[in-house]
Amino acid sequence: MAAPLSVEVEFGGGAELLFDGVKKHQVTLPGQEEPWDIRSLLVWIKKNLLKERPELFIQGDSVRPGILVLVNDADWELLGELDYQLQDQDSVLFISTLHGG
Amino acid sequence: CEMSEEYRESAPKGPPPPRLGTGDQKCVKCKEGLPVVVIRAGDAFCRDCFKALYVHKFRAMLGKSRLIFPGEKVLLAWSGGPSSSSMVWQVLEGLSRDSAKRLRFVPGVVYIDEGAACGQSPEDRARTLAEVKLALQTTGFPWHAVALEEVFSLPPSALRCSAQEAAGTEGAYKAAVDSFLQQQHALGTNGVERQSQHCAQDPQSPTGPPTTAQTQALSRLFDSVKTLTAKEELLQTLRTHLILHVARNHGYSKVMTGDSCTRLAIKLMTSLALGRGAFLAWDTGFSDERHGDVVVVRPMREHTLKEVAFYNRLFAVPSICTPALDTKAPEKASIHRLMEAFILRLQAQFPSTVSTVYRTSEKLVKAPRAGCAAGPRCLLCMCTLDVDTADSATAFGAQTSHLPQMQTPVTQARAAAGPCCCAGMGGAPGCCKREDPRAQVMEQLCYGCRVNMKDLPSLELLPPYILSEAQLRSQRATAEQEIREYLLGDSEDEAGTGES
C-alpha cells in the first residue's frame, strides 16, 4: 500500500486551456495498492482535473503526441516515461507544443 | 556508479545507454552533467551543454547563410508564441555579448494582433495587448504592435513585388562586414553605445486602436470563410502582407520569423496537401526572396519544438499564450491540424520523422518552371504563377479550367461583354463592368490560392487593397494584350505587303 503523495501538476503552452486556464495545481494523490506512476497520474488527471475535450490531452494511456512531459524540470524520457514512479513533492509539467495550444 | 562512468568514457561511440530508469546517466556531450533533455533520438544533454548547442545552432544558421549584413535593419516577427519568443531572446542575448561575438544587425520587433480574426472579445484583446506591449518594452528594441484590421487601410502597392535588390554575393557580404568594422573602429566604444541608445530610443507608438467598423469587417470576412483550412491560409496571407508593409514602411530589409523545424516539417506536408507543391522551397526554406526588396529569413529552422519548449522553460524565456484560430479545435478540423497530428504521431513512434521531412525541405531548389521566372505573380502569395493552359488534360487543369485563363483575359472579357451588352441577354448584374470581380481575382491566383478562395463565397469582403490591385492588374493585362494584338496585326500586314 503506497502512502498518499503530494505533487505539483503544472500545464503550459496552451494545455492549461483545457484545465479552466489554471496552470498550477497542488494535488494530493490518495494512497492506493499500486505505487503511483505517470500512467496512473494521467488517469487521475483525466478524472479529476481535466475540464473538457480529454482527447486533446490524452490519447490511449499516454499524453497526446506533441505534449511534452517534464518531471522536476527533466525530460520524462530520461526517467522511464509512463513507468516513472512518482515521489512525494515531485513536480510534473505538461507543455503543449501543438498549434493553438 | 563510478565504474559505469569509466566504462562509458572508454567507449563513447557505444550503443545508446538504456533509457529506462537510468539515474546514473550522464550528458552525452560533457560526460559529467546530469542530463535533463533527450534530443535527436536518444541523446541526453545536461542543462549547460543543451544551452550551448541551442545558441550555437541559432548563430550558425545566421552565420553560414551570410544573408544578414552588419548594420542591416531586421524585423523580428513575434507572435508571442514559444518559437518566436525564443528567437527574440536569442537576438537579445546575441546583442549583449562581448564585441567579437556580438550579432551585428539592428533589430526591431513587430507584433500582429489577430484577436478579431480569432473571435477574441474586446476585453481579452485589450488584456493581451497590454501584456504584449509590456513584453515589447522590456526588449528595448523598437517595436510595432499592429492590429490585423490595418489590412483594410493597406495600399494596393503592398502587393507589388519591388525590384530585386542586387543579390547578396559573397563579395558584397565581405565588403559590408569590412566597412562595418571600420565604422565601428572609428566610432570606438561610443558607436556601440549610441547604437544601443538608438534602439531604446524610439519605440514606435502603435497607430491607434482599430475602428469598430474595421473590426466588424474583419470578423465578417473570417466568418464568411467556409472551412478552417481556408481561414488559416487567409490569416497567414493577410498577416504576411501586413508584416511586409510594416517592414517596408520602416526600412527593414529582412524579416525573421520563428518557424521551428517541427513547424516547417508540418508546413511542408500541409503545403503539399494544399496544392502548393510548386512553392515548397519558398514556403519552407531558410530564406524566402519572393518579395524582392524584403527577404524573409527563418533562423529557428534547426530547432525542434521540443528543444524550444525546454529552452524556454529552463532559461525562463517569457512567452504569451494567445488563442489561435484552431485552439481547442478537434484533430480533423483542418488540413493544418490533421497534418500536425499525423506528423507528431509518426514522430512519437519514429523519432526521425520530423528531421527526415525537414531535410527534404532543405534540398529543394528554388527554380520556377522554365520560362515562368519573370511571369506574373500570384496576387495573394506572390509566387510565380504555376497555372498553365497546357495542363488542361490533367486533373489539375480540370479543376482550374472553369476559371478564366490568365493568358486570355481580353477574349474572355469580350465574350462576356459582347452578347451581354449588345443583346441585353440575361441581364447579368455588372455586365457593363467588363469583368466579374471574382473572376478578376481568381485569374491572378496560383493553383493553391485558387483552391483556397473557393471557400470564400464572396470575395467582396476581402480588404480593398487586394480587390483594387486585382482590378489594376487585370486592366493592365487587357491593355497589354490590346497593344500586342495591334502590333502583331501591324507586322502581319507589313509581312503581307512585303510579299506581294
Question: What is the per-residue burial (b if ≥16 Cβ within 10 Å, else e) of B148-180?
Answer: bbbbbebebebbeeeeeeeebeeeebeebeeeb
Count the Cβ atoms, other than its own, within 10 Å of residue A11.
25
What is the percentage of chain B residues whose pLDDT exceeds 70? 74
Cβ atoms A94, A22 nearer than 8 A = no
Strands of A67-71's sheet, edge to edge? A24-29, A5-12, A91-96, A67-71, A74-75
Residues 6+ apart with CB under 8 A from B350: none
**What distance in Å separates the CA atoms of residue B344 and residue B263, rounded to the nearest whole number?**
10
Cβ contact (<8 Å) for B21 and A100? no
Q: Quickly state the pLDDT bin for B481 (edges 50, 70, 90).
A: confident
**What distance in Å separates the CA atoms of residue A84 and residue B262, rounded to the nearest whole number?**
27
> What would the grid cell of residue B85 be?
519568443
Most confident of B194-208, B346-360, B430-444: B346-360
Q: Looking at the partner chain, which of A95, A99, A100 has a beta carbon nearest the beta carbon of B313? A: A95
Cβ atoms B173, B68 nearer than 8 A = no
DSSP 8-class letter at B167: P
From the list A83, A78, A82, the residue with the least C-alpha distance to B42 is: A78
Q: Looking at the partner chain, which of B35, B263, B336 has a beta carbon nearest the beta carbon of A78? A: B35
Cβ contact (<8 Å) for A68 and B324? no
- The secondary structure of B388-437 as a DSSP string is -GGGTTSHHHHHHTTSPPTT-HHHHHHHHHHHHHHH--TT-TTGGGSS-H
Residue in chain A lying closest to B37 (CA): A75
Q: Looking at the partner chain, which of A17, A80, A97 has a beta carbon nearest the beta carbon of B20? A: A80
**What distance in Å separates the CA atoms of residue B145 and residue B271, rounded to the nearest whole number?**
28
Q: Is the pLDDT confidence value at B115 over 70?
A: yes
Per-residue pLDDT, B42: 80
What is the percentage of chain A residues whose pLDDT exceeds 90? 85
**What distance in Å separates the CA atoms of residue B296 and residue B23, rounded to the nearest whole number?**
44
Mutate to test the interface with B, among A75, A79, A83, A84 (most CBs of B within 10 A): A75
Q: Is the pLDDT confidence value at B385 over 60?
A: yes
Per-residue pLDDT, B493: 53
> Averaged over A55-61, what is the pLDDT?
92
Q: Quickly state the pLDDT bin for B490 (edges 50, 70, 90).
A: low
Domain A5-96 has CATH 3.10.20.30: yes
Q: Is the pLDDT confidence value at B25 over 50?
A: yes
Residue B234 burial (10 A CB sphere; 0-12, 13-18, 19+): buried
Per the listing, cell 478552417 goes with: B228
Q: How many CA atoms lie within 13 A of B121 on its CB side?
A: 3
From the list B88, B47, B262, the residue with the least C-alpha distance to A70 is: B47
Cβ atoms B135, B318 nearer than 8 A = yes
Cβ contact (<8 Å) for B323 and A18? no
Cβ contact (<8 Å) for B327 and A17? yes
User: In one letter, which amino acid is B376?
Assistant: P
**pLDDT tens sequence across B423-436:** 334 444 444 445 67
Per-residue pLDDT, B454: 93
**What distance in Å separates the CA atoms of residue A41 and residue A21, rounded to the nearest whole number?**
20
**pLDDT tens sequence across B194-239:** 444 344 334 444 456 788 899 999 999 999 999 999 999 999 999 9
| Chains A, B: CB pairs < 8 Å | 92
Per-residue pLDDT, B329: 86
| Contact residues, chain A, for B25 at CB < 8 Å | 78
Count the Cβ atoms, other than its own, within 10 Å of residue A66.
23
| Contact residues, chain B, for A53 at CB < 8 Å | 328, 330
From the list B337, B319, B362, B321, the residue with the least C-alpha distance to B84 is: B319
**What distance in Å separates the CA atoms of residue B238 and residue B465, rounded to the nearest whole number?**
11
Q: How many CA atoms lie within 13 A of B191 on its CB side?
A: 12
**What distance in Å separates the CA atoms of residue A84 and residue B194, rounded to the nearest whole number?**
54
Q: Between B54 and B292, whose confidence is greater?
A: B54
> Averaged over B32-41, what is the pLDDT?
88
**What distance in Å separates the CA atoms of residue B471 and residue B346, rounded to the nearest whole number?**
45
Cβ atoms B464, B238 nearer than 8 A = no
Q: Between B201 and B336, whose confidence is greater?
A: B336
> What would the grid cell of residue B495 be?
509581312
> What would the grid cell of residue B42 be?
536518444
Per-residue pLDDT, B423: 38
> What would the grid cell of residue B238 be?
493577410
> Averaged over B394-404, what is the pLDDT?
54
Any idea which of A31-40, B88-97, B409-418 has the lowest mean pLDDT? B409-418
User: In one letter, which amino acid is B126?
Assistant: A
Per the listing, cell 524573409 goes with: B296
| Contact residues, chain B, for A13 at CB < 8 Å | 82, 309, 321
Domains of chain A, residue spans: 5-96
Minimum distance, in Å, between the CA of residue A54 and any CA atom of chain B: 11
Cβ contact (<8 Å) for B313 and A73? yes
**What distance in Å separates the CA atoms of residue B310 and residue B54, rounded to the nearest whole number?**
10
Minimum distance, in Å, between the CA of residue A44 and any CA atom of chain B: 21
Cβ contact (<8 Å) for B44 and A78? yes
Cβ atoms B84, B257 nearer than 8 A = yes
**What distance in Å separates the CA atoms of residue B216 and residue B226, rounded to the nearest whole number?**
18
Q: Is the pLDDT confidence value at B413 over 80?
A: no
Per the listing, cell 489577430 goes with: B114
> Averaged over B257-282, what is the pLDDT?
94
Cβ contact (<8 Å) for A97 and B324? no
